[in-house]
């Protein structure tokens, strides 16, 4: 009976929402705007340092996302009502040799340098934060708070001392691997499959050292078995800084329901990735497919990666053709509604205390209606539309992640030596 009543009621509500939404929109938008402005908003993963390190990118300018391919700068953070962001010092997986590790370390330190120099040069607009308290204090001055994370443990090589160095440079989380296995652990997307069935012996040491330092362990990108190893071994909560729910979009980068439950039990948090392919599987249109095929035939290549093997002049021509093709047959992107379906699922499964936002902007993150950081308010609007309270939304925007940050800091055993 109760069930019947509830389903009838929700059917009525759905119908009502459908018919009155147009009139309600102004009130809803006003409410959402108020909540969004008041909440301390944090995104836990952006690859913006790549642009800073490359040079020629002005983070103080309001860049156009469509023509520059940049999704984050300070004016757009202000427009999108985003108070704080984690800049990821990211390195793709390279050769797992002593030379490869040495090059990776060097490159990571260069990227740190680019971030610190940029912060120094833009100190009227942004400042480095290493704790929630610092971020909130920076926010009160009207500046953007910039946290630092490291994406890919490959950057430390076999040198655990690098973790201390990264921590001292401001790093507060490290993603253990990227799209391939490294010497620390198995990745979720390595075509070769599992190597260690989880963490390697070095990986176990890394987890212990990160616990000791009070550096958050990021389980985005790791394989399922690595995830469970980390959960078992870590003495403090862990996070997935940019991942989604596999039940909503079946991609190896997303977390299964069982993993989400384990993460909640651990006290951790999953921050929703807005990379369209991880949000919703949208098959390309037949027209786009045909145009791609014609382009491959023209350049005598098998797929997009084949472009890289062409001589430079040919490559340039192929790239220009590809950009034209993209304009003519754009990739269809998932929407804010699709993204909030992940939040809905996760909240239903593990509660409101374990979800947040980590869009992966500048690393592929982009939705049709949250294409860059300036459109972040659309996420709050959809949350309000679905009945989330101000308190819920504040937890999603930073409350949950900051709880984990504080727990990891409090749980650190700094003085205890590794051995
Ligand atoms: Zn990533």
Residue 3 belongs to a domain: no
Give the residue from 44, 270, 267, 242 showing the smallest Cα distance to 135: 44
Residue 303's domain comprises 283-331
CA of 178 relative to ligand 1 center, distance in Å:
6
- Nearest 5°: CA angle at 215, between 211 and 218? 95
Taking the centre of ligand 1 as the mean of its atom positions, its distance from the CA of residue 359, in whole angstroms, is: 10
- 155 within some domain: yes
* 310 & 348 share domain: no
Contact 376/331 with Cβ under 8 angstroms? no
Structure tokens at 102: 């040495």
Ligand 1 geometric centre to CA of 309 (Å): 25
Sign of CA dihedral 386, 390, 395, 398: positive
What's the gap in Å between 358 CA and the centre of ligand 1? Answer: 10
Question: From CA 88, how far away is CA 85, in angstroms rounded?
Answer: 9
- 326 and 240 share a domain? no
Q: How far is the CA of 104 from the centre of ligand 1 (A)?
A: 17
- Cβ-in-10-Å burial (0-12, 13-18, 19+) of 96 comes to middle
What is the predicted pLDDT for the residue at 18?
46
**Domain check: are 233 and 253 in the same one?**
yes
Same domain, 293 and 327: yes
Give the CATH number, domain containing residue 79.
3.20.20.140
3-state secondary structure of 139: helix
CA 278 – CA 296 distance, rounded (Å): 26
Which region, left, alpha or beta, applies to residue 69 given φ > 0 means left and ψ of -120 to 50 means alpha?
left
pLDDT at 414: 66
349 and 229 belong to one structural domain: yes
Cα angle vertex 85, ends 216, 412, to 5°? 20
* Predicted pLDDT at 284: 81
According to the model, what pLDDT value does residue 114 have? 98
Does one domain contain both 389 and 369? Answer: yes
Q: Provide the pLDDT for residue 313.
A: 87
Reduce the DSSP state of residue 340 to 3 states and report it: helix
CA of 220 to the centre of ligand 1 (A): 7
One DSSP character per residue, 100-126 reads HHHHHHHHHHHHHHHHHHHHHHTTTTE
Q: Are residues 297 and 201 in the same domain?
A: no
Which of 300, 315, 331 marks a domain boundary? Answer: 331
Expressed in angstroms and rounded, the spacing between residue 252 Cα and the centre of ligand 1 is 13
Could you tell me if 298 and 264 lie in one domain? no
- Gap from CA of 347 to ligand 1 centroid (Å): 23
Q: What is the pLDDT of residue 371?
A: 97
Per-residue buried b or exposed e for 281-319, using 16+ beta carbons within 10 Å of the residue's own CB? eeeeeeebeebbeebbeebebeeeeebeebeeeeeeebe
Ligand 1 centre to CA of 151 (Å) is 7
| Cα of 360 from ligand 1 centre, angstroms | 7
**417 within domain boundaries:** no
Ligand 1 centroid, distance to 108 Cα (angstroms): 15
Q: What is the DSSP letter of 216?
A: E
Whether 275 and 287 share a structural domain: no
CB atoms < 10 A from the CB of 117, how many?
12
Would you write out the chain's pLDDT as a tens digit for each of its 419 residues? 333 333 333 444 444 444 456 666 899 999 999 999 999 999 999 999 999 998 889 999 999 998 888 999 999 999 999 999 999 999 999 999 999 999 999 999 999 999 999 999 999 999 999 999 999 999 999 999 999 999 999 999 999 999 999 999 999 999 999 999 999 999 999 999 999 999 999 999 999 999 999 999 999 999 999 999 999 999 999 999 999 999 999 999 999 999 999 999 999 999 999 999 999 999 888 999 999 999 999 999 988 777 877 888 898 899 889 889 988 998 899 999 999 999 999 999 999 999 999 999 999 999 999 999 999 999 999 999 999 999 999 999 999 999 999 999 999 976 544 43
Residue (of 80, 42, 138, 37) closest to 403 by Cα position:
42
Instruction: Calculate how far, in angstroms, residue 297's C-alpha sits from the geometric centre of ligand 1.
Output: 32
Residues 245 and 381 in one domain: yes
d(CA 91, CA 376): 26
| Nearest Cα residue to 182 out of 155, 211, 212 | 155
Kindly state whether residue 13 falls inside one of the protein's structural domains: no
Answer whether 74's CB lies under 8 Å from 60's CB: yes
Compute, in angstroms, the gap from residue 40 CA to the centroid of ligand 1: 23
- Comparing C-alpha atoms, which of 164, 146, 130, 160 is closest to residue 84? 146
The rounded Å distance from CA 3 to ligand 1 centre is: 42
Are 68 and 162 found together in one domain? Answer: yes
Identify whether 135 is part of a domain: yes
Q: How far is the centre of ligand 1, averaged over its atoms, from the C-alpha of 96 (Å)? A: 19
Cα 378 to middle of ligand 1, angstroms: 23
Task: Report how far ligand 1's centroid is from the alpha carbon of 50 (Å).
Answer: 13
DSSP secondary structure letters along 157-168: TT-THHHHHHHH
Residue 237 CA, ligand 1 centroid: distance in Å: 20
- Ligand 1 centre from 18 Cα, in Å? 37
State the pLDDT at residue 22. Answer: 60
Query: In the prediction, which pLDDT does 23 show?
Result: 60
Distance from Cα 284 to the centre of ligand 1, integer Å: 23
* Ligand 1: centre distance to CA 253 (Å): 9
For residue 77, report the distance from its CA to the centre of ligand 1, in Å: 20
| Distances in whole angstroms, Cα of residue 102 to Cα of each of 52, 162, 217, 266, 416 | 22, 11, 23, 34, 28
* Residue 82 near residue 274 (C-beta atoms within 8 A): no
Ligand 1 centroid vs 361 CA: distance in angstroms? 10
CA–centroid distance, 226 to ligand 1, in Å, is: 16
DSSP state of 180: S
Q: Calculate how far, in angstroms, residue 23's C-alpha sits from the geometric centre of ligand 1.
A: 40
What percent of the chain is helix, strand and coil (3-state, nearest 5)? Answer: 55, 15, 35
Q: Are residues 170 and 310 in the same domain?
A: no
- CA nearest to 196, candidates 226, 231, 227, 240: 226
Q: How many domains does one find in the chain?
A: 2
Buried-exposed string 10-27: b where 16+ CB fall within 10 A, e elsewhere:
eeeeeeeeeeeeeeeeee
Decide if 142 is inside a domain. Answer: yes
47's tokens: 């690859």
How many angstroms separate the alpha carbon of residue 314 from the centre of ligand 1?
Answer: 30
Q: How far is the CA of 290 from the centre of ligand 1 (A)?
A: 30
Q: What is the pLDDT of residue 339?
A: 98
CA of 242 to the centre of ligand 1 (A): 7
Q: Tell me what pLDDT residue 323 has.
A: 85
Instruction: Provide the angle, in degrees to the nearest 10, between the axes of the packed helices 312-328 and 286-299.
Output: 170
């Amino acid at each position: 009976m109760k069930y019947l009543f509830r389903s009838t009621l929700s059917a009525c509500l759905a119908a009502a929402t459908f018919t009155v939404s147009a009139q309600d929109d102004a009130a809803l938008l006003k409410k959402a705007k108020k909540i969004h402005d008041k909440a301390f908003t944090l995104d836990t993963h952006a690859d913006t340092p790549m642009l800073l390190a490359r040079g020629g990118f002005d983070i103080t300018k309001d860049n156009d996302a469509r023509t520059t391919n940049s999704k984050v700068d300070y004016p757009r953070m202000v427009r999108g009502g985003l108070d704080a962001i984690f800049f990821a010092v990211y390195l793709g997986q390279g050769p797992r040799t002593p030379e490869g590790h040495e090059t990776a370390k060097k490159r990571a330190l260069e990227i740190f340098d680019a971030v610190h120099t940029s912060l120094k040069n833009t100190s009227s607009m942004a400042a480095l934060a290493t704790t929630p308290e610092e971020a909130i204090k920076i926010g009160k001055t009207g500046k953007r708070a910039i946290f630092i994370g490291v994406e890919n443990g490959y950057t430390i090589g076999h040198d655990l001392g690098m973790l201390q160095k990264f921590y001292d440079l401001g790093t507060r989380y490290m993603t253990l691997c990227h799209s391939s296995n490294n010497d620390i652990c198995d990745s979720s997307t390595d075509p070769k499959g599992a190597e260690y069935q989880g963490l390697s012996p070095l990986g176990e040491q890394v987890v212990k050292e990160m616990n000791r330092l009070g550096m958050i362990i990021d389980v985005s990108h790791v394989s399922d078995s690595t995830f469970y190893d980390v959960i078992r071994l870590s003495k403090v909560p862990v996070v997935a800084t940019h991942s989604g729910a596999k039940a909503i979009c079946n991609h190896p980068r997303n977390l299964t329901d069982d993993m989400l439950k384990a993460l909640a039990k651990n006290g951790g948090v999953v921050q929703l990735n807005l990379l369209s392919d991880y949000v919703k599987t949208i098959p390309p249109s037949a027209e786009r497919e045909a145009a791609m095929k014609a382009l491959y035939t023209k350049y005598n290549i098998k797929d997009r990666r084949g472009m890289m093997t062409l001589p430079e002049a040919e490559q340039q021509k192929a790239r220009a053709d590809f950009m034209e093709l993209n304009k003519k047959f754009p990739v269809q992107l998932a929407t804010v509604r699709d993204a909030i379906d992940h939040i809905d699922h996760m909240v239903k499964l593990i509660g409101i205390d374990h979800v947040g936002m980590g869009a992966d902007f500048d690393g592929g993150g982009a939705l049709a209606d949250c294409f860059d950081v300036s459109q972040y308010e659309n996420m709050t609007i959809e949350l309000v539309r679905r009945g989330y309270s101000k308190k819920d939304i504040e937890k999603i925007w930073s409350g949950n992640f900051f709880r984990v940050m504080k727990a990891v800091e409090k749980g650190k055993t700094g003085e205890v030596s590794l051995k």
